Structure 1
Amino acid sequence: MIAAAVFVIFPLCLAIAAFSDLFTMTIPNRASIILAIAFLGVATLAGMPLFVMGMHLAAAFSVLAVCFVLFALSIMGGGDAKLLASTSLWFGFDPALVEFLVYVGIFGGIASFVILLIRTQAHVILAVGLPIPNSILLAKKIPYGIAIAAGGFIAFPSSPLFIAALESLK
């Protein structure tokens, strides 16, 4: 049961956040809330020691603090900040957190470049009628939830709970 929760909840919440950000330029709060609550439940059921859970919470709050500064400077959206922090909760202060954040940065850079390139050709894309969401063509923001989800998907196999869930299946 724990393995099923780990393998379903984390990727599903990230996928919902990414698709929502792509089409509406918003990330539903419920995705971040479910990620946080599910982590606490799964970690407890998996027998994660309280100290380790505390370190996971400290990692998430550290990421949230940095994101809060970026939000205050209008560099990052609030939904992106909450999603990044709640996703970081699943990685804790572990090398997997660094891996996750590096992947988010890489995918964020690629997504930003591609979206900005698309926006330079928005008039052509609209004239031809290509099926690209208006949020990509016309918004002033970058849907960073896509990069957070992609980074999470790639780094997730290195996360402590993913590894523990695999061990429980053996």
Structure 2
Amino acid sequence: MLAVTLSLIFPLCLAMAAFTDLFEMKIPNAIPLVLLIGFGALAFVLGLPLGLTGLHLAAGLIVFFGCFTLFAVNVMGGGDAKLLTAAAVWYGFNISLVEFLIEVAVFGGVLTLMILALRSQANTVMALGLRLPRSLIVEKKIPYGIAIAIGGFCSFLSAPVVTLALATVSPK
């Protein structure tokens, strides 16, 4: 049961990141840190072999290099890069990581198009008196933490560590 409880760290952190990104246009450093510590605790409780744990960390490192490149050319925010890196560690080197990254990209594209459409009608929205977060109307950047969270919610159950955690409470 402890493993299942620890696995809930992932969706909870993603939800917190999405909300803070939506309302503040930033993702606190504590969220990716808790994700990494949560993965470490879950790996320990599940008894993951050190080599397999290392592969999970290597997957995160590869995602980090991609994110850092996007950050360096001002395409991705630093908080988004850290969040995506920490989330990638939960998936490891397997097809579930690819699924997660594809889902994040698709949801990110849809989110971006929706926000751009909304911003193009900003005067109408403000004239109607709708109270929306500044990140949706005024800011120039996209709160991509929302897309990362939605992609994570959709692929969460395919992450191998989550599958192993759920197997600890299955009837035998």
Q: Structure 2 length as normaliser, TM-score?
A: 0.97
Task: In structure 1, list runs of 5 or more residues that go unmatched.
Answer: none
* Equivalent position of 1:114 in the other structure: 114
Shift of 1:135: 1.6
Amino acid paired to 2:6:
A
The structural deviation recorded for 1:131 is 2.2
Aligned to 1:101: 101
Q: Kindly tell me the number of residue pairs found equivalent between the two proteins.
A: 169
Where does residue 3 of structure 2 map in the other structure? 2
2:129 corresponds to 1:129: yes
Structure 2 counterpart of 1:161? 161
Counterpart in the other structure of 2:35: 35
Alignment of 1:60-99 (within 5 A): 60-99=60-99
- Matches of 1:115 and 1:153, distance apart in 2: 21
Instruction: Give the AA of the match of 1:146.
Output: I
Q: What residue in structure 2 maps to residue 21 of structure 1? A: 21
What is the CA deviation profile of residues 77-100 of structure 1, one whole-angstrom value per residue up to 9, with x for unaligned ones? 000000000000000001000000
CA-to-aligned-CA distance 1:93-149 (integer Å, 9 cap, x gap): 010000000000010000000000000000111111112111210000000000000
Gaps of 5+ in 2: none
Give distance in 2, aligned partners of 1:19 and 1:85.
Answer: 18
CA RMSD of aligned residues (A): 0.6
Distance 2:59 2:134 in 1: 35
| Distance (whole Å) between structure 1 residues aligned to residue 137 and residue 28 of structure 2 | 21
Shift, 1:44, TM fit:
1.1
Structure 1 runs (4+) deviating above 4 angstroms are none
In 2: Cα distance, 1:131 partner to 1:87 partner: 31
TM-score by length of 1: 0.98
Deviations 1:51-75 (A, max 9, x none): 1000000000000011001000000
How far apart are the structure 2 equivalents of 1:121 and 1:21? 22
Amino acid at match of 2:141: K
